[in-house]
Amino acid sequence: MQDIRSLNEMIRHESQFVDAILEEMKKVVVGQTHMVERLLIGLLTGGHVLLEGVPGLAKTLTCKTLARCLSIQFQRIQFTPDLLPADILGTMVYNPRDQTFTVKKGPIFTNLVLADEINRAPAKVQSALLEAMQEHQITIGEATHTLAEPFLVLATQNPIEQEGTYPLPEAQVDRFMLMVRVGYPSKAEERAILDGATGGYAPEIRPVLDGERLLQARKVVQDILIDDKLKQYVVDIVFASRDPKAYGLADLAEFIQFGASPRATIFLVQAAKAHAFLRHRAFVIPEDIKAVGLDVLRHRVLLTYQAEAVQLSSDDVVQRIFDRIAVP
């Protein structure tokens, strides 16, 4: 009991910066609390985040504002159909005077990368990101370069425009810890956005966190407690997406083509721990798992044509799995 109390005190102390970041974000970003918290979860776990929403919902603005709250290096890459892998990774440059090649590093060599409209670049560019996202390293020529920590990719994509876009490979989508659906603001938030955009006032954002403290916070998040029963709850949820009949969900079997990968199990626990950290709590509760469940699983549960025919989305399927699996 004493250990839990001391851990709780440590978590409360170490998570104080969360409230400070949220206050700084509110100076620029109106509403969108769900998106902001998911970006923080990505930071606290080292998990990449994919934001999906129509234009004008402050996806890019939110990512850039978050970068201003952190004393780390930030690069924004605008993805276009004519983008080349070298434009992201860098290339070998020949020096005729010395008759040698030197490495010119690309914008991926940073701490926080914003891949804006990531689905506008072709497959060869997407594949260039895989090594960086998974291994945190880049190979240029014959040399492999380790990326500086912390390293995180935040990406945005537009779900409604198909002209000039390329669907992301499933191997790359699976490497995003969270896929966050960004919705419209409320009427009151829309009015606040209007007042802020036409008021002629540019708020000043102060850095709250540096890279060293962020890495320390990631270690603290790993120490957050999760009961074995909750771990089994997570495993049951993931397995229900692969074999719904075994969990009393036979009606979903024809709609699921592929269930969630083992990364879903790992990411679901990590994201739940980070969610508890955001709530200044030293232990995970079922509500933490449910809160992040859709964002972790929606892009990992692949549906059949029958599901599309009856207009059943992956969110619907995942929600029915959560409704079915009993909370311990």
Report pLDDT digits (tens) over 86-141.
899 988 887 888 877 788 888 999 999 999 988 888 888 888 888 888 889 988 87
Task: Please check the confidence at residue 1 and state whether its pLDDT lies above 60.
Answer: no
Q: How sure is the predictor about 46, in pLDDT bands with cuts at 50, 70 and 90? A: very high
Q: How sure is the predictor about 48, in pLDDT bands with cuts at 50, 70 and 90? A: very high
> Among 156, 158, 55, 162, which Cα is nearest to 115's?
156
pLDDT, position 297:
95
At 171, is the secondary structure helix, strand, or coil?
Answer: helix
Give the 3-state secondary structure of 177-242: EEEEECCCCCHHHHHHHHHHHHCCCCCCCCCCEEHHHHHHHHHHHHCCECCHHHHHHHHHHHHHHH
Class in CATH terms, 2-198+211-217:
alpha beta
Task: Please check the confidence at residue 2 and state whether its pLDDT lies above 60.
Answer: no
Task: Please check the confidence at residue 324 and state whether its pLDDT lies above 70.
Answer: yes
Task: Please check the confidence at residue 165 and state whether its pLDDT lies above 80.
Answer: no
Query: Are the CB atoms for 240 and 260 separated by under 8 Å?
Result: no
Task: Please check the confidence at residue 7 and state whether its pLDDT lies above 70.
Answer: yes
Q: How sure is the predictor about 216, in pLDDT bands with cuts at 50, 70 and 90? A: very high
Q: How sure is the predictor about 43, in pLDDT bands with cuts at 50, 70 and 90? A: very high
Per DSSP bridges, beta strands 137-140 and 143-146 are antiparallel
Query: Are the CB atoms for 140 and 134 separated by under 8 Å?
Result: no
Tokens describing residue 81:
């159909």
pLDDT, position 18:
92
Stronger pLDDT, 160 or 228, i.e. the higher one: 228
Query: Are the CB atoms for 209 and 21 separated by under 8 Å?
Result: yes
- The burial of 181, by beta-carbon neighbours within 10 Å (0-12 exposed, 13-18 middle, 19 or more buried), is given as middle
pLDDT, position 265:
96
Q: How sure is the predictor about 197, in pLDDT bands with cuts at 50, 70 and 90? A: confident
Kindly state the percentage of the chain with pLDDT values over 90: 44
Q: How sure is the predictor about 232, in pLDDT bands with cuts at 50, 70 and 90? A: very high
> How far is 63 from 53, CA to CA, in rounded Å?
14
What residue type is 272 in one-letter code?
A: A
State the greatest distance between any 2 C-alpha atoms of the chain, in Å, as a whole number: 71
The domain spans of the chain are 2-198+211-217, 225-324
288-294 CB contacts, 8 Å cutoff, 24+ apart: 289/230, 289/233, 289/234, 289/237, 290/322, 292/38, 292/41, 292/178, 292/268, 293/237, 293/268, 293/318, 293/322, 294/318, 294/319
Class in CATH terms, 225-324:
mainly alpha
At 103, is the secondary structure helix, strand, or coil?
Answer: strand
Q: Omega of the bond prior to 150 within 30 degrees of 0, cis?
A: yes
pLDDT, position 267:
96
* Neighbouring residues of 210: CB distance < 8 A, sequence distance ≥ 6: 70, 71, 72
Task: Please check the confidence at residue 67 and state whether its pLDDT lies above 70.
Answer: yes
**Average confidence (pLDDT) over 282-299:** 94
